[in-house]
Structures are given as structure tokens and as C-alpha cells.
Amino acid sequence: MGKNSDRMEKEGNKMEKERAEKITLREAFKAHYRVACKVRERCPGIFLSTGLHSGVSALSPYVAIYLSARMINELAGARRQEVLESLVMAALASAAALTLLTGLLLRLKEYMNSKCEMELENMYADKMLSMDFADVESTTSHDLLSQVRQNRNWGGWGFKVVIPCFAHLVEGFIGALSAIILTVSLFTLPVPESAGTFVVLNHPVFLFALLLVLILATWLAPVCGNKAVEYWTRSSEEGKLGNRVFCAFSSLYSIHAKADLRMYNQNIIARHYMESNNAFGPKGELAAFARGPMGAWRALGEAISAVMTGVVYVFVCLKAWAGAFGVGSITQYVGAVTALARNISTLLGTMGTLKSNTAFLRPSFAFLDIPNAMYQGSLSTEKRADREYEVEFVDVSFRYPGMERWALRHVNMKFKIGRKMAVVGENGSGKTTFIKLLCRLYDPQEGQILLNGIDIRKYDYRDYMDVFAVVFQDFQLIAQPLGANVAGAARYDRDRAARALTDAGFGERLLAMPQGLDTMLYKDFLKDGVEVSGGEAQKIAIARALYRDAPFIILDEPTAALDPVAEAEIYSKFNDIVGDKTAIYISHRLSSCKFCDEITVFHKGQVIQQGSHEELLAQENGKYHELWQAQAQYYTG
């Protein structure tokens, strides 16, 4: 089975490489035009700033070449003082102006590039936040996003390529056009008849042959370079895998894993990979390509460019020796012709880069094109001052995408407004799935969920979600100030945030914080950031739910990381914290359920019991009584 899997994976990689090699220039331009439109939408002004800088940078050398040639010719000829003075002044003024202008445009371009880099990263984040939650949890989505980042990290491929490629196209076009203007007279200025045998340089056949050599050399050099670049695409699978492994190993050395690393010596894993299967090491595929065909193609391209430069030098010097033009023009023509070849090579090389990059754009497009299947609705949820919201599950059944087993089956229940309900059951009984459906992270395949008698799918999605404040098991805090974590925003009501933290049992810790609500959590960005324990983080997460002040508050195992004393503190004041909100509380610790008005017991995706703690405990054959007795034995003699 393992050999078949490896064989199929190798065949798949081979097919992907073949598809990458068959990319046409039309397909490449079409793909990058779409990228350019997306980048321009996210980063207005990026192409203007890049184009201006590239255009001025490409033009500057030719101004210097032209004026230098004129000065040398004047020095080798009439040596007129007024002409030399004007040429020197023009050279100095143009150099100063172009240098200043290039510097200003460079600063503008760098600013726009840095801004655009953040915007492109935000583009993927915005997509992740806007897509259906089923796709957010899908391994396909995460794999596509991982491919996008690995392509970018290991070779700089993807959306970011379009900006430097645009710069190269502008630079190549302006440079080639300027070079042609300065080169035309090389072929039109004839060798005088007095030059004897050198007159043959005027013959059309000779000039045509020279032009043909220059065109072939100019074309062949970038073709060889593009052949070398193709090997980056061929080795993309190994490169992405290697970069992914490196990223995984780097996480071993995070501050949160240092104890495990020390205890289990996990560095052995990284060392084994580095020695046996390092994609970027001397034994990797990319290194083999570099030593072999990729290096050979690159060397051949450089050799062709060197030969062409030599031919240009010989031809220009011969015409100058024969008296077709002054010695100063040698600088102009040699510089212009070699620059012409270089710029044409840049244009052709950029086209090759676009073709190679097209293969790396496919996962980006696949990720960004993931459609939203959930109906968004348009009704606004009624903003009721009395918080009279009623939710009802009507014969609801649900199974996760790609799964055959039903996570919930024929669930019927109604929430009593302003009451506190506990949801209990064994692992995998459907408790968290029930909460995800309630918050409309998923839609059920069967049945309906009603809010005040209306199917929740008819409500505006964002408007409906604002009805709930949830603390999930896998909640996340970010490396930002404490107050911003509570409010979920940079600007917030400080008194309200402090009150939410106090209500969640974090009051004493807040007073001990060095900068209060402005204290930075964690040390990701500041060395004096504060590390909070798991229990403290959970209290902050609860405070975040309280700050939102939604009619429904849902706590999914909110005290799992708290010690018994802290847990008892939260429970004792829970009713005061929740106030007139409807609270739904998921727990494995049944002792915490006694304060709730109602308890719902899930088992194998179905609701099998409902009632108060006393009522359910009295049912000795019921699941709740079984679970209670299983836990009670650890607390009684």
C-alpha cells in the first residue's frame, strides 16, 4: 500500500511538472493580468510608483552615455571651450536631477511595496474570514493556503512576482527603446571611401549578418536563462515540502515547546532530516539541477552574452578606426548595443518568469475562488431591549462535510429566555456541534433552527452572529494589549473592559499588571510583554464574551484550565455575571451544572434527557445519573 501511494504521488508530481512546462505565454499573461487587477485593487498606486521609478532608472544611464560620448568627441576634435562647458553643465545638471528624482521615486516605490505586501497578506486573511466556516475548517482550504505561503517563502513565487516583473518590463522597454535611438547611427554612419578595404563594413550583407548575429545572441541568451528558471518549477514540489518541514522544525524551538524539546531531544528529528533528505542541501533535487542542466543553461546564456559583447566591440572599433565616427562614439555605441541586448534579455527573461510563475499562481486562484455556499440572508435581527429572544431546534440533523456519520440526529429543543442551560455528554456526543449550528457556523442538512419563529438562514449573517458571545474550547488571544484583546478592537470603552475582566475573576491580576489595560500580552513583539497562564487566558476570554454584551452567552468548557478555587469563584458569581442574558454552558464537570436552571444531556448526537440537576439525578437509569456517579467516586470516600 505504501509503495503504491509513493508511486501515485510521484506520478502526480510528474504530471504537475509536465503541465507547468506546457504553459503558454497567452495563459501566463492572462493569469498575471488577473493578478495585476487584484493587486491594483488592493494597492492603488503601486504600479504607477513602480513604473515611474523603473522608467527613470532605465533612462538615466543613456543620458550619461550620450553626453559622455559628446564630450569625448569634442576633446578628441575641435576642443571648443563653450561647447565643453555646456556639455559638462548638462551632464552635471542631468545627473543631479535624475539622481534626486530616482531617489524620491525609490522611496515612494519602497513605501508602496511595503504597504502592498501587507495588503496582499490581508487579502488571504480577508478571504479566510469571509468564506463559509465549513471551508475554513476544511483541510483542502488550509492545504491551498499552505501551498501559497510555501511558494512565496521558498522561491518568492505567487502574487508578489507581478510587481518586480512589471518593473522589469517597464525598465526593459524604456531601456531597449533608448538603446535603439542611440544605436541607429552606428549602422547609418558610413565608413568613408578613403578607408580602403574597411569600406566593406558599409555593405548591406555585412550589416545584415551583424544584425542577425546580434538578434540571435540577444534572443538565445534569455532563452537559455528561461530554460534554467524552468528547473525551479520542476523542483517546486520538493522545495515546498522542504520549506514546510523547515517551518515545522522551527516551531520546535518556540518558547511554548522548550520543555518538550529538552525532555525528548526532538532536535534528533531535525538533524535526521538535514542529513538524509534536505531539499536545499547538496543531496537535494535543486542542487542536482544546479550542478547539471540548470547550471549549464545559465552558463551558456552568459557565454552567449559575452561573445555578443566581443562582436560588438570589434565592429564598433573597426568603424571608428576606419573614420566613420569619433572615438567618443565608441562609448556610446558599445554601451548602447550591450544595453540593448541586456534589456531585450530582460524582457524575454521576464516573460519566462511569468510563465514559470503561472504554475505557482494556481493554488492562489484555487483558494481565492472558493465559493460561499451558505445563504447569507437579508433580514435584520430585532434589537430588543428586553432581550426576548427565543431559539428553537426543529428536527435538526447534521453531519460534517465528507463524513458519513451523523454528528446530530433529529434534535428538537427550545431555549427558555433568560435561563441558564448546561449541555453535558461524553466526548463526541454532539455538544460542540450543537453550538456551531446555533451560531450558524454550519447549516444543518435537515430541519430548521428558528430565532423568534424565523429560520436563522433568512437573517443577515453578520447581524445574526452579533446576537451571540462565545468562548470556545480552542479560543485564541493575540500578542496585543490586554484591553484590545478583551474588546477585540484598538479603540474601546476602558471602563467597560475593566469591568468585564473583574466580573470574569481577573480583577486582582489586572491591578498587578504593569500598565493595566495597556499591558502587552506575550513577548512576540515586546520583550517586556506579560505571559499569562492558561487559567488567566481563559478568564480574559470570558471577559471578552462579557464585553460584547450579547443577548446569548455561550461558554464551551470555559473553566477547563482553571483550578478548583478559581472555578468555584466563577460559578459562585455566574448568575450575577450573566444577568438577564440567556446562557448556554458546555461542561464535562457535572458539579458545575447544579447552578443552571436546566440541563440537556447529549448522547450519540441526540438529546436524551432534559431537566434540572435534581430531576435528572433522580432518574437512576438515566445517562446523567451514570455520568454523575462516574465523577462522584473521585470526590467521595
Enclosing domain of residue 591: 418-444+458-632
Q: Do residues 22 and 107 share a domain?
A: yes
Question: Which residue, 368, 389, 407, sits at the end of a domain?
Answer: 368
**pLDDT (tens digit, 9 = 90+) per residue, 44-94?**
999 999 999 999 998 888 888 888 888 888 887 778 888 888 988 998 999
Domain end, chosen from 346, 368, 390, is at 368
Is the pLDDT at 572 greater than 70? The verdict is: no
pLDDT of 491 higher than 70 = yes
Q: Are residues 520 and 581 in the same domain?
A: yes
Task: Judge if 440 and 298 occupy the same domain.
Answer: no
CA distance 506 to 298: 63
Are 477 and 584 in a shared domain?
A: yes
**In terms of domains, do 228 and 123 share one?**
yes
What percent of the chain stands above pLDDT 70? 83
**Is 231 a member of any domain?**
yes
- The partner residues of 468 in beta bridges, in order of sequence, read 552
Residues contacting 85, CB < 8 A, separation 6+: none
CATH of the domain at 558: 3.40.50.300
Q: Is 10 exposed, middle or buried (0-12, 13-18, 19+ CB in 10 A)?
A: exposed
Angle at alpha carbon of residue 482, lines to 478 and 484, rounded to 5°: 75
Residue 567 has pLDDT above 80, yes or no: no
Residues 483 and 602 occupy one common structural domain: yes
Which residue has better confidence, 504 or 290? 504
Q: How confident is residue 2, by pLDDT bands cut at 50, 70 and 90?
A: very low
**Rounded to two decimals, what is the model's pTM?**
0.72
Residues pairing with 554 in the sheet: 470, 584
Dump pLDDT digits (tens) for 369-391. 998 877 777 888 766 555 567 88
What DSSP state is assigned to residue 50? H
More confident call, 477 vs 312: 477
Choose one of 306, 333, 368: the last residue of a domain. Answer: 368
**pLDDT confidence of 278, banded at 50, 70, 90?**
low
Q: Is residue 90 a part of any domain in this protein?
A: yes
Which range is least confidently modeled, 233-237, 246-250, 542-546? 246-250
Domain identity same for 42 and 163: yes
In a domain, 187, yes or no: yes
Residue 268 in domain: no
294 falls within a domain: yes
Residue 7 has pLDDT above 80, yes or no: no
DSSP-assigned beta bridge partners for residue 582 = 552
Q: What percent of the chain has pLDDT over 90?
A: 22
Residue 238 has pLDDT above 70, yes or no: no
Which pLDDT score, from 0 to 100, does residue 3 have?
44
State the CATH number of the domain containing residue 87: 1.20.1560.10
Q: How far apart are CA 193 and CA 444, in angstroms?
A: 93
- Looking at the structure of the chain, the number of domains it has is 2
> pLDDT, tens digit, for every residue of 298-351?
888 778 777 777 877 788 888 788 888 777 777 778 878 778 878 888 888 888
Residue range 137-146: mean pLDDT, rounded: 86
Query: Domain for residue 7, yes or no?
Result: no
Please indicate, yes or no, if residue 614 is contained in any of the structural domains. yes
Looking at residue 402, its pLDDT comes to 79
Q: Which of 291-295, 342-346, 509-513 reaches the highest mean pLDDT?
A: 509-513
Q: Could you tell me which residues are beta bridge partners of residue 394?
A: 448
In angstroms, the Cα distances linking 464 to 420, 458, 460, 529, 551 are: 21, 9, 6, 36, 11
Residue 380 resides in a domain: no
Find out whether 538 and 557 touch, Cβ atoms under 8 Å: no
Q: Which long-range contacts (CB under 8 A, 24 or more apart) does 624-630 make?
A: 624/424, 624/590, 624/599, 627/424, 627/425, 627/426, 627/590, 627/601, 628/590
| SS3 state at 180 | helix
**Mean pLDDT over all residues of the chain?**
81
Does 355 share its domain with 498?
Answer: no
Task: Check whether 468 has a pLDDT greater than 50.
Answer: yes
> CA 265, CA 548: separation in Å to the nearest integer?
44
pLDDT of residue 181: 86
User: Can you give the pLDDT at residue 8?
Assistant: 40
> For residues 361 and 239, which has the higher predicted lDDT (pLDDT)?
361
pLDDT digits (tens, 9 = 90+) for 256-272: 555 665 565 555 555 55
Give the model confidence (pLDDT) of 575-621 as tens digits. 677 777 788 888 777 777 777 888 999 999 999 999 888 899 899 89
Exposed / middle / buried, residue 465 (Cβ in 10 Å: 0-12, 13-18, 19+) = middle
Question: What pLDDT was estimated at residue 324?
Answer: 80
Over residues 160-219, the pLDDT tens digits come to 899 999 999 999 999 888 888 888 888 788 888 877 777 877 778 877 877 787 777 777
Distance CA 484, CA 637 (A): 47
Average pLDDT rounded to a whole number, residues 249-261: 56
| 471 grid coordinates | 468562548
Whether residues 422 and 364 fall in one domain:
no
Judgement on whether residues 216 and 351 belong to the same structural domain of the protein? yes
pLDDT at 392 over 80: yes
Same domain, 359 and 480: no
Any idea of the CA torsion for 570, 573, 577, 583, to the nearest 10 degrees? 70
* pLDDT tens profile 114-140: 899 889 889 998 998 888 888 888 888
Strand partners, 459: 379
φ, ψ dihedrals at 340, nearest 5° = -60, -45
Same domain? 179 vs 75:
yes
What is the average pLDDT across 513-533? 87
Gap between the Cα atoms of 599 and 627, Å rounded: 13
